[in-house]
Amino acid sequence: MSVGKNEPRRDGPAKLTGRALYLDDINIPGCWHGVTVRSTVPHGKIKSIAYDPSFPWDECVVVTAKDIPGKNLVTLIEADQPLLADGIVRHREEAIVLIAHPDRATAYEAAKRVKIEYEALPPVFDMEKSDKVFKSYLIERGDLDAGFAAADVVVEGEYRTPSQEQAYIENNAIAAYEEDGVLIVTGSLQCPYYVLKAMKAIFNRGEDKIRVIQTVTGGGFGGKEEYPSMLAGHAALLALKAGRPVKIAYDRHEDMAATTKRHPALVRHRTGLAKDGRLLAQDIEVVMDGGAYATLSGVVLSRGTLHAAGAYECPNVRVRSKVVMTHTPPNGAFRGFGAPQTLFAVELHWERIADALKIDSLTLRQRNIFKLGSTTATGQILVESVGAEECLQKTVKHSKYVSKRKEYDRWNKNKRNKTWKGIGLAVCHHGAGFTGSGEVYLASRAGVALTKDGELIVLAASTEIGQGTNTMFAQVAADALGVPASWFTVETPDTHKVPDSGPTVASRTCMVVGGLVSRATHDLRRAFEAEFGRVPKTAADLKKAAAALCKGAPARRFEVQYEKPPEVTWDDATYRGDAYGVYSYAAIAVDLEIDKLTCEVRLVKVTTAQDIGKAINPLLAEGQIIGGSTQGLGWALLEEPLFKDGVMINNQLTNYVIPTSLDTPSFQVLLVEKPYTRGPFGAKGVGELPMDIPGPAVAAAVKHATGRMIPTLPQTPERISQALK
């Protein structure tokens, strides 16, 4: 058995020796450098575009919207985002003109020689003042009025969360070129088939004439989910016009200013409870800032909405949510995908409720937390794999939460101490896979191939972006077949080689696509048994079996498609039913200390228990948990994109600060494995869950330490000292 073992990561040796080739490492002969001329106003009409006559333009290739052969559109969900602004710009840094030149520095110089004049139009930056709603949702359960009427107390609170930059260390980078009539697009990306779909509309080409290939990718975290479709379009327009390869590799400033970020959010809670702490009514309102185009905002909001009531059973619930347009660069996918925003509110709200009821927030959580058989706000009954209570209990025990609360209360009373200490808690659920009927629409495919020489290859479009996809797939396939994991390789995501497994997002790679790989491998296993008598046991055996199965063909493919589990029902119109096939669960305790003079926060320890069904590779799963939690801690304490006139002004790693090795505490990770019958070997999602709740746990710990609730992030020394005034 390989599943459950810490197989070393497949891509490790190449990455550790500098041999892994990221896009900018690849020597593409004759490749020119592409650069982008972007809007300098947040909203306006383009009056004129002028090219400085003293510059040698004949050395360059220049592209504007007029050069687009098909639709001027980045196809995603709504048809609203142009590939290049034409006539009107709706946010700062919107792409207008593209230039390619053999020399990178000259290309940048050329970009400076383009003068664009605008007629300014009024921008909207405040999401509460926007009247353009991209998408709204309503979830209702029970009778809200009756719930509030029966309540002994009603507690209200308002919570805000800022944007966040993914800050993958490899910036966005894509190259394009044409080879034998096929347009090849290659680079740093999460979702090859999203790029393919966008390219089809831009270039009026069929799938056979476009090929998207992922290169080794230096981090994504959602930031390379939709943006690469735009970048690919830009590189390909330049390449086709230049008749040669063109590469666009953003520098850090451009990447931070122009590409997608987490949606800022405002969440209001009104909660009715019985005196003993039982939830009776939750009325929740969510507003998110989508930026200038809809892009993924509707789905981000959907996930945020479906997680807004938290991992608790409440008989009467209403969640109203909307995502609106502002004149800022579009916000997009970022690990957690709307859930961290709403979970911040519902989790921190427990601290307010605790004050109102004089019952501590741990007891309140225990009283209401999801159990087997609980019903969610959408009416979903949780029939299996519910590890919420166990996560909470393990986290409390291993963090010594209860005794530390008391110990720190005593410490904080002593005026002579130079610090305050606090420990805070949070719990959450996270739906694995696409929301509602999303997986049905995706209809993903994946498979395995057996070549006549006995190579076993996993075929999936899911990308390795550091999470360990390739290693995990090989382990799943190996155990499904009953052979060593080393027998399997994993094909590079290349749209001419692998089927459309859907995007690498939504914590779906292991549970959904891994499940498909496992099913396809079972088909292969049956073929071995039927045509060879058994599954081969040795390498020589495998060669013989391969010859028998391939019957002279170069290879045999076994592909399967997603099938909706019959027990899952969902209604998109009413937002009722099984929002997700299953949920993962997590609890976290953050232990910290605050300097009374400087208000600086030092993280002492983080303890977290996470129910992911089954850890296919515990080392990789823990890597996801520690890494994801660290991004959550960054959001909680350090990270805040600052906007002025609709553009990020701290678009550098110098002033957009992410955690370093010294900012990061020691982690204790406890895996909880409540298997899900439909996940491969019981596995559920792990990718996003860890990002969800470090924020509220930090805020709760700061409140414990200082006595002040700061209902927003990040909890910087400035904010803490302000709150203490």
Partner 1 sequence: MIKLTVNGKKISFKGAPFKRLIDALREDLALTGTKEGCGEGECGACTVLLDGEPVNSCLIPVCQADGRKIETVESLGVPEKLSKLQAGFLACGGAQCGICTPGMLMTAHAHVRSKGKCDDKSIRTALSGNLCRCTGYQDIVKSVLKAAKGGKK
Instruction: Give residues in contact with partner 1 (CB under 8 A).
Output: 8-9, 11-22, 24-25, 27, 166-171, 216-221, 251-252, 465-468, 619-620, 622-623, 626-631, 652-654, 658-662, 664, 666-667
Tell me 23's DSSP state: G
| Bridge partners of residue 369, in order along the sequence | 312
Question: How would you list the strands of the sheet with 153-161, edge to edge?
Answer: 133-141, 317-325, 279-291, 265-273, 153-161
Nearer to ligand FES (CB atom), residue 163 or residue 624: 624
> DSSP string covering 620-652, please?
HHHHHHHHHHHHHHHHHHT----EETTEES--S
Nearer to ligand FES (CB atom), residue 466 or residue 628: 466
The item of ligand FES, partner 1, none sharing an interface with residue 130, based on CB under 5 to 8 Å by kind, is: none
Looking at residue 630, its amino acid is: T
Looking at residue 472, its amino acid is: M
Query: What CA–CA distance (Å, rounded) separates 644 from 383?
Result: 48
Q: Which of 473, 432, 682, 447 is nearest to 561 (CA)?
A: 447
The item of partner 1, ligand FES, none sharing an interface with residue 11, based on CB under 5 to 8 Å by kind, is: partner 1
R_g of the chain computed on alpha carbons: 26
CB of 220 to partner 1, least distance (A): 8
CB of 238 to partner 1, least distance (A): 21
Residue 403 parent element (H or E): helix 401-413
- Coil/strand/helix, residue 50: strand
Q: Which of 67, 69, 99, 64 is nearest to 84 (CA)?
A: 64
The item of partner 1, ligand FES, none sharing an interface with residue 422, based on CB under 5 to 8 Å by kind, is: none
Nearer to partner 1 (CB atom), residue 612 or residue 620: 620
CB of 218 to ligand FES, least distance (A): 6
The item of ligand FES, partner 1, none sharing an interface with residue 716, based on CB under 5 to 8 Å by kind, is: none
If binding means CB under 6 A, how many residues of this protein chain bind ligand FES?
3
Task: Work out whether the CA dihedral 231, 237, 238, 243 comes out positive or negative.
Answer: positive
Among 387, 466, 536, 628, binds ligand FES (CB under 6 A): 466
CB of 179 to ligand FES, least distance (A): 31
Query: What CA–CA distance (Å, rounded) separates 699 from 347?
Result: 10
Non-local (6+) Cβ contacts of 53 within 8 A are none
Nearer to partner 1 (CB atom), residue 221 or residue 583: 221
SS (H, E, C) 322-350: EEEECCCCCCCCCCCCCHHHHHHHHHHHH
Nearer to partner 1 (CB atom), residue 22 or residue 148: 22
For residue 214 the two structure tokens come to 């992922």
Nearer to ligand FES (CB atom), residue 13 or residue 373: 13
Nearer to ligand FES (CB atom), residue 338 or residue 634: 634
CB of 250 to partner 1, least distance (A): 11
Among 169, 402, 642, 724, binds ligand FES (CB under 6 A): 169
Q: Strand 88-89 vs strand 317-325: parallel, antiparallel, or unpaired? A: unpaired
Nearer to partner 1 (CB atom), residue 49 or residue 626: 626
Q: Are 71 and 80 in contact (CB under 8 A)?
A: no
Site residues (CB under 6 A) for ligand FES, limited to 191-220: 219
Query: What CA–CA distance (Å, rounded) separates 290 from 704?
Result: 33
The item of ligand FES, partner 1, none sharing an interface with residue 199, based on CB under 5 to 8 Å by kind, is: none
Q: Which of 360, 345, 362, 281 is nearest to 316 (CA)?
A: 281
Angle 366-367-372 from CA coordinates, rounded to 5°? 80
CB of 215 to partner 1, least distance (A): 12
Beta strands in 399-521 (DSSP E): 419-431, 445-451, 456-459, 488-490
The item of ligand FES, partner 1, none sharing an interface with residue 627, based on CB under 5 to 8 Å by kind, is: partner 1
Nearer to partner 1 (CB atom), residue 512 or residue 620: 620
Nearer to partner 1 (CB atom), residue 74 or residue 691: 691
For residue 3 the two structure tokens come to 């599943």
CB of 627 to ligand FES, least distance (A): 8
Looking at residue 18, its amino acid is: G
The item of partner 1, ligand FES, none sharing an interface with residue 8, based on CB under 5 to 8 Å by kind, is: partner 1
Nearer to ligand FES (CB atom), residue 370 or residue 656: 656
Scan for tokens 């008989």, then name that residue: 315
CB of 692 to ligand FES, least distance (A): 20
The item of ligand FES, partner 1, none sharing an interface with residue 320, based on CB under 5 to 8 Å by kind, is: none
Angle 64-70-74 from CA coordinates, rounded to 5°? 75
Residue 697 parent element (H or E): helix 694-706
CB of 42 to partner 1, least distance (A): 26
Phi then psi dihedrals of residue 658, to 5 deg: -110, 160
For residue 352 the two structure tokens come to 């307010």
Nearer to partner 1 (CB atom), residue 251 or residue 409: 251
Question: Is residue 623 a contact residue for ligand FES (CB under 6 A)?
Answer: no
The item of partner 1, ligand FES, none sharing an interface with residue 57, based on CB under 5 to 8 Å by kind, is: none
CB of 217 to ligand FES, least distance (A): 10
Site residues (CB under 6 A) for ligand FES, limited to 69-98: none
Q: Are 354 and 361 in contact (CB under 8 A)?
A: yes
CB of 162 to partner 1, least distance (A): 18
Task: Work out whether the CA dihedral 502, 508, 509, 515 comes out positive or negative.
Answer: negative
> DSSP string covering 258-273, please?
HS--PPPEEEEEEEEE
Q: Are 359 and 712 in contact (CB under 8 A)?
A: no
The item of ligand FES, partner 1, none sharing an interface with residue 467, based on CB under 5 to 8 Å by kind, is: partner 1
Cis peptide before 714 (omega within 30 of 0): yes
The item of partner 1, ligand FES, none sharing an interface with residue 561, based on CB under 5 to 8 Å by kind, is: none
Mutual angle of helices 694-706 and 618-637, in 10-degree steps: 50
The item of partner 1, ligand FES, none sharing an interface with residue 171, based on CB under 5 to 8 Å by kind, is: partner 1
CB of 291 to partner 1, least distance (A): 22
CB of 481 to ligand FES, least distance (A): 30
Site residues (CB under 6 A) for ligand FES, limited to 215-254: 219
For residue 640 the two structure tokens come to 């805040």
Q: Which of 606, 607, 610, 586 is nearest to 693 (CA)?
A: 586
- Coil/strand/helix, residue 398: helix
CB of 219 to ligand FES, least distance (A): 5
Phi then psi dihedrals of residue 522, to 5 deg: -65, -35
Tell me which residue has its CB nearest to ligand FES: 169
CB of 36 to partner 1, least distance (A): 17
CB of 406 to ligand FES, least distance (A): 39
Nearer to ligand FES (CB atom), residue 9 or residue 445: 9
Nearer to partner 1 (CB atom), residue 82 or residue 245: 245
Nearer to partner 1 (CB atom), residue 424 or residue 659: 659
CB of 24 to partner 1, least distance (A): 7
Looking at residue 292, its amino acid is: A
The item of ligand FES, partner 1, none sharing an interface with residue 572, based on CB under 5 to 8 Å by kind, is: none
Nearer to partner 1 (CB atom), residue 36 or residue 305: 36
The item of partner 1, ligand FES, none sharing an interface with residue 487, based on CB under 5 to 8 Å by kind, is: none
Q: Are 637 and 601 in contact (CB under 8 A)?
A: yes
Nearer to ligand FES (CB atom), residue 399 or residue 631: 631
State the residues that interact with ligand FES by CB under 6 A.
Answer: 169, 219, 466
